[in-house]
Amino acid sequence: MHLYEYPAMQVKGNKVVKLKDTICIEDSFRLYLNDELLTELIASPDHLKELGAGFVVCEGLAQGVDAVQSSGNEIRVYAKPEGKCEWVLRSSGGVGAKDAPKRVNSSITIEPKDVFRIIKEIKSEVWKKTGAVHCSVLFLDNNLVVRSNDVGRHNTVDKVVGFAVLNAIDLSRCVIGCTGRQPAGMVSKVANAGVPIVISKAASTDKGILTADKAGVTLICFARGERFTIYTHPQRISGIV
């Protein structure tokens, strides 16, 4: 991940110390779908092909992608679109597709111990250095597949989903763990990708919970230490019901 050493002055009590602080880089990227400008994204400048592929799938614009190209500040995704996209404002200040998310169909189950294992993998050396990134992980059959860090919580989900899309991984057998809050927009991304379970260290919102319930997503939040809260579809967690 791209980082920058920036000169700063740290004040501790009556002492002032000059230092070089490690700072995350954010940049803007133009995302094209089939050579037509789709939107502009603010993101960390890494894993851009995964970001483009994941965004298109997570917003329900296509079920898969044919190719992705990344050059400079442009990401070009080629896919068979499922219809015209209408944008709405999300809780993050960004935009997302207006259509209701797809419904997830998956029979996978995990155990409570798996929740804790997934949470332990949502760790980031970049966050320890900067305190400025979110992190998401993708698990398949209880194995860590990929981890993503980004200045935007939405982008981390797009990137891990994009990795799965580009590597032909069955997302209906996957679990996503993340650091970010789970409002409707975040849950919709998971549902459109076909991921049945999402686990977050943070909270949800009322619309996030309603979206998960309607879309068939098992939503788990406040996964910290030895506890977690299941809001929807608890049947996927063995021994709970």
Q: For the domain made up of 30-97, give the CATH fold.
A: Ubiquitin-like (UB roll) (3.10.20)
Nearest to 150 by CA among 119, 123, 126: 126
Model pLDDT, residue 136: 97
> Following CA atoms 141, 228, 126, 142 in sequence, which dihedral angle do they give, to the nearest 10 degrees?
-10
Question: Cβ(64)–Cβ(20) under 8 Å?
Answer: no
- The correct answer on CATH 3.40.140.10 for the domain covering 112-236 is yes
5-34 residues labelled b (16+ CB within 10 A) or e (exposed): eeeeeeeeeeeeeeeeeeebebeebebbbe
Model pLDDT, residue 91: 47
Q: Where are the domains of the chain?
A: 30-97, 112-236
Mean pLDDT of 188-201: 98
C-alpha to C-alpha distance for 44 and 28, rounded to whole angstroms:
9
Question: Cβ(174)–Cβ(139) under 8 Å?
Answer: yes
Task: Tell me the per-residue pLDDT of 60-102, one tens digit each, with 9 for 90 and over.
Answer: 999 999 999 999 999 999 999 986 666 555 545 455 566 789 9
